[in-house]
Structure 1
């Protein structure tokens, strides 16, 4: 991917690519590669409590859809090293109406798995804040916006994230990987 394409939004509207990211094991593998850098299927199997054949299969699926790539200069024989592929940092999901009815379950599963991860992060937050409040930040708010204002707010949020965040290979030495989450939902539908 060219550098000028790195921050162009990627609409993840291919149901097969979306399905590849809707699997919990694959998401954990991607997170590990993103946070800790390159790994082998054996390393990932040990870390995730899985069999090497299982991690190899999931790595091949992630490679097939362009989310990871082999590091040929580091691989030898049967040992293959993998890294996160350079993909846009701004990945957008389709709305249910943008997918055929038979593919909407995949989008639902993608969200379900993602929010399970988010719940685990929320549970970790108090301990992380206590340990190092300079790195664990939180914000909660109630705001009233029109749909157009929310659209602008979201685009400005993404722009800030891209401005202040760095791809792993361009991060300053003192940069740390951070989980950043953003979501809104109507408060009057409780």
Structure 2
């Protein structure tokens, strides 16, 4: 299981924030791939996917999948990481700007994905009804909120696995908690 890892270098966030790199990582969540198969799936050229894979590898987001490579063809897999960000008061201005850009892009992407799910859920069979939803609030101390978050992550990590059942499907899980503005 991946250990918590705090990102302190804005360059790492910038590597994650690039739109094509986010799309590459999303494809690699499904299965390992080569730059050629990624280029076809993402309607990009292989030079571009190859470059961005090397950039992602430089920052530890992807790694070689040697079992699949044949000859000069290089296959990649996503590295499962438990990434954490510095607290607001500990972020440099550059880190704060990079994190805001990444977070805004991720939230916009999540909204687009949710909208696509809503529009197509009728064609998904029983998976179209598999949408647990909860919205609420809790009254906690900062320490309790950290404990709550760690418990959530521990629960989610129980389902990180390489041996995926045949009837399993990727399910997007999002967690956001913040103090209610006064």
Q: Which residue number corresponds to residue 53 of structure 1? A: 47
Q: CA deviation at 1:106?
A: 1.4
Compute the TM-score of the two structures, normalised by the length of structure 2. 0.84
For residues 147 and 66 of structure 2, what CA distance do their matches in structure 1 show? 42
Are 1:112 and 2:104 an aligned pair?
yes
For 2:155 and 2:121, how far apart are their aligned partners in 1?
23
In 2, Cα distance between equivalents of 1:71 and 1:49:
22
Aligned to 2:69: 75
CA distance, structure 2, for counterparts of residue 123 and residue 101 of structure 1:
33
Find out whether 1:182 has 2:175 as its counterpart: yes
**Aligned equivalent of 1:22:** 17
Structure 2 distance, partners of 1:124, 1:144, is 34
User: How do 1:98-137 and structure 2 match up within 5 A?
Assistant: 98-127=90-119, 130=122, 131=124, 132-137=127-132
Q: Count matched residues.
A: 179
Aligned residue for 2:76, secondary structure, equals strand
Give the gaps of 5 or more residues in structure 1. Answer: 1-5
Unaligned 5+ runs, structure 2? none
Q: Structure 1 pair 149/71, CA: closer, same or farther in 2 (3 Å)?
A: closer
Q: Decide whether the 8 Å contact of 2:6 with 2:85 is kept in 1.
A: yes
